[in-house]
Amino acid sequence: MRGTLRKIICISVCLLMIVASLPATESKADVIPIPKNFKKHGIIYHVEKKLKGNFGEVSVIGIDDEAVGEDLNNIVIPELLMKNQIVWNVKFIAPFAFSQRHDLKSVVISGGIEEIGTGAFYECTGLTDISISDTVNKIGTYAFSGCDKLKNIKISEENVNFSATNGLLLSKDGTKIISAPGATGEYWILKGITTIGPAAFDSNAGITDVWLSTTVTSIEEGAFYNCKNLKSINLKKVEHIGKEAFFGSGLESINIPETVSKIEDNPFAFCDSLKEITVSKENSKYKAFDNMLFNSSGKKLICATTADNNTEFPEKVTTVGAYAFAGNKRMEEITFPKKIKKIDECAFMLCTSLKKVRFLSRKVDFADIKDPGSGAFYNTTVNLIVEFPYSEDSFTEGSPEYAIKAHCPDGVLITNY
């Protein structure tokens, strides 16, 4: 490590000496074309901007597979490099720059680099070691997701934004887990940590059970996303559960303690193994019925991941929340009570076993579509039948039949009875 740092320092000094000898005007540099991308020592760079004089800024966008004589499995991302008589400052590692490079083993990120982009090392399954300099002030979500062997994370002690311990990438004060790619087995979140950050354990295939300390109060968006082997978690004193927090995980049961006061959408969507949902009797915000999750009044259905053909929905339900049934493969038919007033976005997303949905009332509104994949029945099945009570206004503008067309995939039959 020290030898590598000496090498980087020597290169930097040499580059600065070369720059000092170059003319102050841009004329000499300008006669040489500056490509948008260029390669050097096994790394591909993208020109972000040309600065005054003989300087510029670049980002790292990948590895040069055609490089000869370079160790592409163990790379050092430099602070400065020379190309076309210009000294380039390496400022950023672009989003997904090294994603799915399964042969990558170790990375040294030198001083001067400020940002590691979203998914920069996503699913680098062979990555075991990474060293991050003091200048890095931003690390994007999913930067190390799926890096199951990454257990050696080093952060410069001078870095004011991040720290690392026992394979965890943390906030500087050690209260927030940013990434835990190498966590395995029964995993204990130590006392002092208050927040499990967005996608902190995303796509981790090693953890089976998680035990939180009583200091953890927030589990943020996608924290345990796609943790297929995660069977259980004790939420202890958690107050906030973010969107998609356990999306696609292997949870078999979940108990919402009395401390939970905020749940965003359905954090348990696509949890195929989930069979039991319970809520503490002391919780004033949420309640459970027939292994489904509702708000305290019972009027909003939050999670119906466990619902099947025998599930009966309380008469007082007025709203089906976003992603409430998403990914449910147990249910083939469903009849909603008369008081249903609103169906939120992606409520039945990818319910591929669903064959019939019957509404007992026509007074149903569907959430506005924000993008093509946010419709209530997005990617269900072409065999789906959606039924409404007959009216002379059926299929006219403003009718639920008319509104639902925008929410259904091609081939879904909308009809009256």
Q: Which is it for strands 385-388 and 106-109: parallel, antiparallel or unpaired?
A: unpaired
CA 56 remoteness from chain centre: 32
* Torsion-angle region of 9 (φ positive above 0: left; ψ -120 to 50: alpha; else: beta): alpha
Q: Is the pLDDT of residue 20 over 60?
A: no
pTM score, whole prediction: 0.86
Residue 159 has pLDDT above 50, yes or no: yes
Backbone angles phi, psi at 222, to 5 degrees: 65, 20
Query: Are the C-beta atoms of residues 45 and 54 closer than 8 Å to each other?
Result: no
Distance CA 266, CA 224 (A): 13
Q: Give me the mean pLDDT over the 332-351 stretch.
A: 92
Q: Residue 165 and residue 155: Cα distance in Å, rounded?
A: 9
The dihedral through the CA atoms of 186, 191, 192, 196 has a sign that is: positive
Provide mean pLDDT across the span 385-393.
92
What is the arithmetic mean of pLDDT over 233-260? 98
Q: Strand pairing of 333-336 and 356-359?
A: parallel
Look over the chain and give the mean of its residue pLDDT values, rounded to a whole number.
89
| The length of the chain, given as a count of residues | 417
pLDDT at position 11 over 60: no
Helix (H) or strand (E) holding 276: strand 276-279
State residue 382's pLDDT score.
Answer: 65
Span 42-55, pLDDT tens digits: 999 999 998 888 99
Q: How confident is the model at residue 402 (pLDDT cuts 50, 70, 90)?
A: confident
Q: Residue 164's pLDDT is what? A: 96
Range 309-336 average pLDDT: 93
Domain boundaries, given as residue ranges, for the chain: 307-417
